[in-house]
Amino acid sequence: MKKFLLALSILTVATLFGCKEAKNEAAKPTKVTVMIYSEYIDPDMITDFEKQTGYKLQIELYEAQEEMISKLQTVGTAQYDVIIASDVVIQQMIHLGLIGKIDMEKIPNKTNIADQFKNPSYDPTNEYTVPYLWGTTGILYRDSTIDPMNVSYSMLFDAKNTKGNFSLLEESRSMLSMALQAKGFNANSTSKDEINQAVEYILQAKKDPHFLGFDGSVGGKDKVLSKMDWAAIVFNGEAMAAIDEDSTLQFAIPTEGSFMWVDAMTLSSKAPNPDGAYKFMNYILDGKIGAQLAKYINYATPNTKALEFLDKDFTENRVINPTAEEIKRMVFLQDPGDAARLFDEAWTIVKTR
């Protein structure tokens, strides 16, 4: 009887241990979910990442920063592992608890990050972000007679200068900052009066019968390509993709100025698979992969190793890599702090009037 009870006990323990192991195995994450702008990763990289890591890569798309933040606040951050966000919203996402600190020791390819992208103003301690790509915002237009080095915002904001239908960018901070520059103000102004003047300038453009609405960068690019739009405000990567399809198109950084931006990989504050998130970040920072990403998306890379795999046609392309003269006209957007409320109120007026 004792032997029977002992055997039964051993069997019970073994069964429970086996069930626990099976449960743990079943609970082990099998995918990495990345929230990202549309058309912002080479599809071949998805397959390659899955082969290299064994994780399924699930891509969730968004078109504008406001849409992304709203979605995260609505559905929560536990559905995502990596969130790719623009520099200007990083501090806001930290304050809202949407992203968490990154363990950089788990990203060995961090050594490939160029010095100019270390300790940025939006993440001075390098705890929350890993750079993905960087770029600029300007005007894509269909007119080979207009020199892109002499383009003014007035081609969109002043009805007497518009030559056809146009779209403005569906991003509040970006669009308001461009309107500030168009009025001769600092893109990072937090003056209520100056922001109000920027609002009035956009409202003036909205009254033009050529105004077709606000679009994401991809939508604006597509409208110019299809000849629905004569011009649109887009990111330079979309502009380059459009020019590759139609060489008669032009891209300009307006004479009044624009801004440069960095899109960064961040760790969701409740990432279900942080180890998978680190593998994705490290994968993107690989030299060959970084070059593949930059070339496919047509954006400049923050990855020094990637530059070894890119030819001069890419590195010397002014649409992708702006000239020194164009860079002088651009700034990085800064976190407006308490003035964020002014931008929110201003954008509400822009969209509702």
Binding residues for spermidine, by number, are: 39
The DSSP-derived string for 303-350 is: BTTGGGG--HHHHT-TTTS--HHHHHTEEE----GGGHHHHHHHHHHH
Structure tokens at 143: 């007119």
Binding residues: 39
CA 223 to chain centre: 21
**Residue 139 near residue 256, CB atoms below 8 Å:** no
**For the chain, how many helices (H) and strands (E)?**
14, 11
Q: Pick the closest to residue 263 from 353, 161, 136 (CA basis).
A: 136
**Residue 173 near residue 159, CB atoms below 8 Å:** no
d(CA 95, CA 35): 19
